[in-house]
Amino acid sequence: MTQVKSAKSAKAQLFEDLKRQILTMELGPDEDLDEVELCERYGLSRTPVREIFRRLSGEGYVDIRENRGARVSPMNHSTLRHFFLVAPMIYAAVGRLAVRHFTVRQLADLKAAQARMRQASQVDDALAMVLENNRFHEIMGEMSGNVYLQTCLNRLLIDHARIGRTFYQPHDADMADRSRLSVDHHDQFIEALEARDEEAVVRLSYAHMELSREHMELFIMPPGLKPEPPQAL
């Protein structure tokens, strides 16, 4: 019995570890997952490790290629374009349904996730912020009570987290201001949910996504470097 429980615990740990490492970009897009190494590290045979790969594949975290093993889902310019094209609509639809269907317990979970995110923001823990932001929006999806939207949202959240990590600049003042505003948006989401204000949640959803777009745009197109004036002879 102890061995069975230990195997189940190791599988659960592997699943959560891989999700976290993908969201925080510890495992980068297209990176191969070393099945043998994971078996050894977690004390599992290949069958349960492959089960985890299939589960992660179903949720959009990894790709499984025939005779080539599993790799982290790719992310490229096409991914970014598709993300920013539809993400605002998905977040807004989720928010609208969340207003209608959230439970007291879910609201408490959302507030707890926001408290952890604000704490991470105050100590500038970028990795914790990624995970808590992801959890905040996962709970919003759960509040919606719509399996179709939740599936789309959860897939979007994977790339939202990875985009955030890709374009994160820890010492950039403009990005730091946007990060603080993003945390404030979460408080406003909670207030709008408590007020059952659908339109406020929808407006916030679009404003929240605009921060991400501006964040990426600032990274790709920074202000030009000023040339040094020529030295007088």
Tally the residues of the chain: 233
Helix (H, G, I), strand (E, B) or coil at 162: helix
| C-alpha of 170 from chain center | 18
Q: Which pLDDT does position 170 carry in this prediction?
A: 65
Q: What pLDDT tens digit does each residue of the chain (233 aa) get?
A: 344 447 679 999 999 999 999 999 999 999 999 999 999 999 999 999 999 999 999 999 999 988 788 999 998 888 888 998 999 999 999 999 999 999 999 999 999 999 999 999 999 898 999 999 999 999 999 999 999 999 999 999 999 999 888 877 666 677 778 888 999 999 999 999 999 999 999 999 999 998 888 777 766 666 666 666 666 65
Instruction: Please tell me the pTM assigned to this model.
Output: 0.83
Q: State the Cα–Cα distance between residues 101 and 89, nearest whole angstrom.
A: 18
> Which is nearest to 118 in space by CA: 166, 170, 185?
185
Q: Which pLDDT does position 166 carry in this prediction?
A: 80
**How far, CA to CA in Å, does 164 sit from each of 6, 159, 184?**
35, 8, 17
What long-range pairs does 85-89 form, CB within 8 A, spacing at least 24?
86/156, 87/156, 87/160, 87/209, 87/212, 88/205, 88/206, 88/209
> Which is nearest to 10 in space by CA: 132, 18, 61?
18
φ and ψ at residue 172, rounded to 5 degrees: -95, 120
Q: State the Cα–Cα distance between residues 33 and 71, nearest whole angstrom.
A: 5
> Using an 8 Å Cβ cutoff, are 163 and 80 in contact?
yes
| C-alpha of 193 from chain center | 21
| Domains by residue range for the chain, with CATH | 2-72 (1.10.10.10), 77-219 (1.20.120.530)
